[in-house]
Amino acid sequence: MNAFLRKDAPTLTAMVQAGTPDDVIALIGEAIGMGADALGIQTCRLNPADQTIENYKRIFEAAKGLPTYVTHYRSYENQGKTDEQLAEGMLKIADCGATLVDVMGDLFAPHPDELCTDEEAVEKQRKLIDAIHARGAQVLMSSHTHKYMSVARILEIARAQEARGADIVKIVTKADSPEEEAEVLLANAVLKRELKVPFLLLCGGVCRTVRRVGPMLGSCMWLSVPRHDEYATKVQPLISDILAVKKGFEEEKDNV
C-alpha cells in the first residue's frame, strides 16, 4: 500500500476541480509546476458519463507519480446517487490507482455532523474501508460539520473516525470570532496528542487562519488550489500563498 503523506514535512496538496477530464489533467499539470506535493481530485465535479475507468486512469497517469487523494461526495454531479452507488464509485477509484480515498463519516446514514452513529451503517463503513485497503489505497474519513464545535466534540469525532479504520481523519469546523478560532487552534494540539493517526483539521467562517498555519501545529497537510476559478473552493488558499507561509516559517526557524 502506497502512503499518501510525506514523512518529513506536512504535505502540500493541490485540490483539482474541473468539469471535464481534460480540464482536470490540465490543472494537474499546472499544480505540479507550482510545486504541489500531492493532488486532490474531486471526481464529484465530473459528469457521471465521464466517471469512467479510462478517464480515471488518464487522470492518475497525469499525476506523474505524485500521490492522489480522491473525493467522491454526494454533491455536484453526484447528486441523486445513493450512498451505495457512491461506495461503488470509491472502489472503482481505488481500483484505478488512487492513493487515498475519502469516505464520508456519514456514508450510508446521512447526519448533520457528517458522522453517523447507526451501527449498521458504521459496520458497512468498516467493510468499505477494508475493501479499499485491499485494493492498495489508504482511506481518509471526513466530517464536514461547517459549524463551531468545542475541542471535546472535535476529538470525539476524530476518535470515532479513527476507530472505523481511517488512515487519516479530517474534520471541517467553523469559527466566526477570535475566541472560536483560538479553540480550533487548540484542537490541533489536542488531536496531535490524543490520536494515533494523522489528522487534517480545517475551518470555515470568518476566522480561518488554521487553513494556513494548521500544519505547523499538527495537521498533516494543506489543501490549496492553483487558482481561484469558477470550480475552486474559495476558502482554500492558493498554492502560492501556502508556499509563502512555509517560507516564512522556515526563515523564522533558521533565525532561532
What pLDDT is attached to residue 252?
73
What pLDDT is attached to residue 2?
86
Query: What's this model's pTM, rounded to 2 decimal places?
Result: 0.96
What pLDDT is attached to residue 26?
98
β-bridge pairing 68-71 and 38-42:
parallel
What pLDDT is attached to residue 256?
62
Walking along the chain (256 residues) 10 residues at a time, the average pLDDT comes out as 93 98 98 98 98 98 98 97 99 99 99 97 99 99 97 98 99 97 96 99 96 96 97 96 91 71
Q: For 139, list phi and psi in degrees, rounded to 5.
A: -125, 130
> 11-254: which CATH architecture?
Alpha-Beta Barrel (3.20)
Angle at 236 between CA 230 and CA 238, to 5 degrees: 85
Tens digits of residue pLDDT in 169-196? 999 999 999 999 999 999 999 999 999 9
| DSSP-assigned states of every residue in 6-75 | -SSS-EEEEEE--SSHHHHHHHHHHHHHHT-SEEEEEGGGS-GGG--HHHHHHHHHHTTT--EEEE--SS
Contacts of 124 (CB under 8 A, 6+ apart): 87, 107, 108
